[in-house]
């Protein structure tokens, strides 16, 4: 079930939020600690204002609540609100047997016994959950993983506590995957909100439409992307849309990872068939691969890992993703020489791809030694980015691979003042924004433009093929 957390000052506003999200949610949680004082007194009416089950919660400040109030008053408000037809009431695990509990049991309102930890995962989390659920209540733990290994611990909840009714949530960025894959942790529900009421919460629309999180079952294949940071990635949208379109029982999830080894443990635990790799792990994964393609070997980095019999295999789809949009121009001879701005990870794959097709390359970079390294490996020229203007009029293709101009610094251009003749093909691999400052200037001069989103889509489609064995469905908009 997807549960919308309502953190609104009035019941009417809470009702509007429910209506706005109605098609994505199965139940909602009314947070009394966000309601205005006089609205708190009328909270018992709320279940009759909406057409779905409601959880009643008055969170204490130490558990992430919004209002500082005496414990006596908090309990009095909760007690009064229980006159309403709530389906569940949240009671913290350290609250001793109380009149609230008695009233809830009398009225047949299910109790959610909750525990919050904003610092860590408690050592004895599984025995805690077991005891919290002992009286037939639903145990809820919202805890904070500090590493991906902690995340793995939470995912073991289902195996350790089979049959126990529970809600297990990892808060913060590491925990986002536990909110999406809640069913694989054996959680009864996942919480959603439009404005991140708790750290790491995502919207109900995303959970229901993008991830189809409520459709996950024990046979659903888990795919994903590992990176740090990773939450900005556009890949989940592309892959999930593709999976849904061909009715492939799979989900693609962003995993914030601090250590590649712990992710390979996760991948083995869930028998993953593949995953994408982004910065800074494209080199770290190499030592876990039993087999790599020629491109991975030569470029020295891998952005796609797939399971083959007995081992993991590494592929580099950045290489093909980059070259495909300009392939015709290379094959026709329109592109004979190129200027590649930047000498980072992406540049490495791009220079190798261009050289592989016989294009003469000059690499320009701020840090000359990095340009020199790539140039040496690929038998090409290099120079300082400060000398960019001296290449004006002498190249067919300009590829921009630095992070300069990337959102939010959208007004920056790494080769400011460069004179385009209008005959160049200019390719910026940044995909957010689509039209970078550099492309805007090149476009004004009449150059042919290529966008980072083209590369992203092409490399993603190839990953999709490697993951599923099917072509990316032609009729699907990958959302980039
Ligand atoms: P990276 O390895 O960190 O390399 C960053 C590059 O940017 C280096 O050449 C660095 O120069 C340069 N740079 C950074 N700040 C600079 C500044 N202020 N002035 C001049 N140069 C600067 O990153 P990467 O993995 O290659 O990714 C680079 C960009 O490509 C990112 O924006 C990424 O989103 C994009 N990308 C797009 C796709 C796609 O599918 N469209 C795929 C991969 C990457 P120094 O060496 O001097 O530090």
Of residues 17, 128, 183, 282, which has the active-site annotation?
Answer: 282
What's the CATH number where 434 sits?
A: 3.40.50.720
Q: State whether residue 266 is helix, strand or coil.
A: helix
User: Is residue 225 in a domain?
Assistant: no
- d(CA 164, ligand 1 centre) in Å: 48
- d(CA 228, ligand 1 centre) in Å: 15
Q: Whose CA is nearest to atom 6 of ligand 1?
A: 402
What's the CATH number where 311 sits?
A: 3.40.50.10860
* Ligand 1 pocket, mutate which of 403, 408, 429, 480 (most atoms under 8 A from CB): 403
Whether 3 and 55 have beta carbons less than 8 Å apart is answered as yes
Q: Which two tokens stand for residue 21?
A: 């999200």
Tell me phi and psi for residue 146, to 5 degrees. -105, 0
pLDDT in tens, the chain (480 residues): 999 999 999 999 999 999 999 999 999 999 999 999 999 999 999 999 999 999 999 999 999 999 899 999 999 999 999 999 999 999 999 998 889 999 999 999 999 999 999 999 999 999 999 999 988 999 999 999 999 999 999 999 889 999 999 999 999 999 999 999 999 999 999 999 988 888 899 999 999 999 999 999 999 999 999 999 999 899 999 999 999 999 999 999 999 999 999 999 999 999 999 999 998 999 999 999 999 999 999 999 999 999 999 999 999 999 999 999 999 999 999 999 999 999 998 999 999 999 999 999 999 999 999 999 999 999 999 999 999 999 999 999 999 999 999 988 999 999 999 999 999 999 999 999 999 999 999 999 999 999 999 999 999 999 999 999 999 999 999 887
Q: Whose CA is nearest to atom 1 of ligand 1?
A: 344
User: Is residue 49 in a domain?
Assistant: yes
Whether 225 and 276 have beta carbons less than 8 Å apart is answered as yes
Q: Are residues 436 and 343 in the same domain?
A: yes
Residue 175 Cβ contacting ligand 1 at under 6 Å = no
Residue 459 Cβ contacting ligand 1 at under 6 Å = yes
- What pairing do the DSSP bridges indicate for beta strands 274-277 and 304-308? antiparallel
Residue 429 Cβ contacting ligand 1 at under 6 Å = yes
Residue 233 Cβ contacting ligand 1 at under 6 Å = no
Q: Which atom of ligand 1 is nearest to the CA of 456?
A: 40
Q: Whose CA is nearest to atom 8 of ligand 1?
A: 344
Q: Are residues 435 and 357 in the same domain?
A: yes
| Number of domains the chain is built from | 3
What's the CATH number where 165 sits?
A: 3.20.20.70
Q: Are residues 214 and 71 in the same domain?
A: yes
Question: Could you give the CA distance from residue 175 to residue 231 in angstroms, rounded to a whole number?
Answer: 11
Q: Which atom of ligand 1 is nearest to the CA of 370?
A: 46
Q: Are residues 73 and 159 in the same domain?
A: yes
Q: Are residues 111 and 126 in the same domain?
A: yes
The predicted-structure confidence for 7-23, as pLDDT tens digits, reads as follows 999 999 999 999 999 99
- What pairing do the DSSP bridges indicate for beta strands 311-315 and 291-292? parallel
- d(CA 312, ligand 1 centre) in Å: 28
Q: Are residues 168 and 58 in the same domain?
A: yes
Q: Are residues 166 and 29 in the same domain?
A: yes
Q: Are residues 276 and 330 in the same domain?
A: no
Q: Is residue 282 annotated as part of the catalytic site, yes or no? A: yes
Domain that holds residue 373: 320-455
Residue 144 Cβ contacting ligand 1 at under 6 Å = no
Question: Of 163, 185, 219, which one is at a domain's C-terminal end?
Answer: 219
Question: Could you give the CA distance from residue 249 to residue 360 in angstroms, rounded to a whole number?
Answer: 45
| Other CB atoms within 10 Å distance of the CB of residue 270 | 16
Q: Are residues 51 and 178 in the same domain?
A: yes
Q: Are residues 179 and 325 in the same domain?
A: no
Q: Are residues 463 and 451 in the same domain?
A: no
């Amino acid at each position: 079930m997807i549960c919308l957390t309502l953190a609104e000052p009035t019941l009417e506003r809470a009702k509007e939020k429910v209506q706005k999200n109605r098609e994505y949610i199965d139940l909602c949680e009314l947070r009394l600690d966000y309601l205005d004082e006089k609205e708190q007194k009328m909270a018992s009416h709320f279940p009759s204002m909406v057409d779905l089950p409601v959880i009643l919660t008055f969170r204490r400040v130490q558990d992430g609540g919004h209002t500082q109030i005496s414990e006596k008053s908090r309990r009095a408000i909760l007690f009064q609100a229980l006159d309403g037809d709530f389906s569940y009431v949240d009671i913290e695990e350290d609250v001793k047997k109380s009149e609230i509990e008695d009233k809830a049991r009398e009225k047949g309102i299910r109790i959610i016994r909750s525990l919050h930890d904003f610092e860590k995962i408690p050592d004895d989390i599984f025995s805690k959950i077991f005891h919290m659920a002992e009286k037939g209540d639903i145990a809820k733990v919202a805890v904070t993983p500090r590493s991906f290994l902690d995340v793995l611990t939470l995912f073991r909840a289902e195996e350790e506590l089979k049959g126990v009714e529970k809600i297990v949530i990892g808060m913060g960025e590491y925990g986002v995957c536990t909110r999406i894959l809640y069913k694989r942790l054996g959680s009864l529900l996942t919480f959603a909100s439009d404005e991140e009421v708790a750290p790491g919460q995502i919207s109900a629309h995303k959970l229901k439409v993008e991830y189809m999180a409520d459709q996950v079952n024990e046979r659903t294949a888990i795919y994903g992307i590992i990176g740090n940071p990773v939450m900005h990635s556009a890949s989940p949208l592309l892959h999930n849309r593709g999976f849904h379109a061909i009715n492939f029982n799979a989900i693609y999830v962003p995993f914030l990872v601090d250590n590649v080894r712990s992710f390979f443990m996760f991948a083995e635990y869930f028998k993953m068939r593949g995953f994408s790799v982004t910065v800074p792990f494209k080199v770290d994964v190499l030592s876990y691969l039993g087999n790599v393609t020629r491109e991975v070997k030569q470029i020295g980095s891998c952005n796609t890992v797939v399971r083959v019999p007995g081992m993991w295999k590494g592929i580099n789809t950045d290489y093909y993703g980059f070259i495909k949009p300009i392939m015709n121009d290379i094959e026709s001879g329109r592109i004979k020489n190129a200027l590649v701005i930047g000498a980072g990870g992406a540049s490495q794959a791009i220079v190798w791809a261009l050289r592989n097709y016989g294009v003469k390359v000059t690499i320009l970079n701020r840090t000359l030694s990095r340009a020199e390294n790539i140039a040496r490996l690929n038998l090409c020229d290099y120079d300082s980015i400060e000398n960019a203007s001296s290449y004006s009029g002498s190249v067919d293709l300009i590829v921009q691979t630095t992070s300069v101009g990337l959102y939010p610094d959208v007004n920056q251009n790494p080769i400011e003042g460069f004179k385009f003749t209008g005959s160049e093909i200019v390719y910026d691999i940044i995909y957010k924004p689509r039209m970078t400052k550099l492309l805007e200037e090149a476009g004004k001069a009449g150059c042919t433009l290529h966008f980072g989103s083209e590369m992203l889509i092409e490399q993603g489609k190839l990953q999709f093929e490697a993951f599923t064995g099917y072509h990316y469905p032609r009729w699907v908009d990958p959302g980039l």
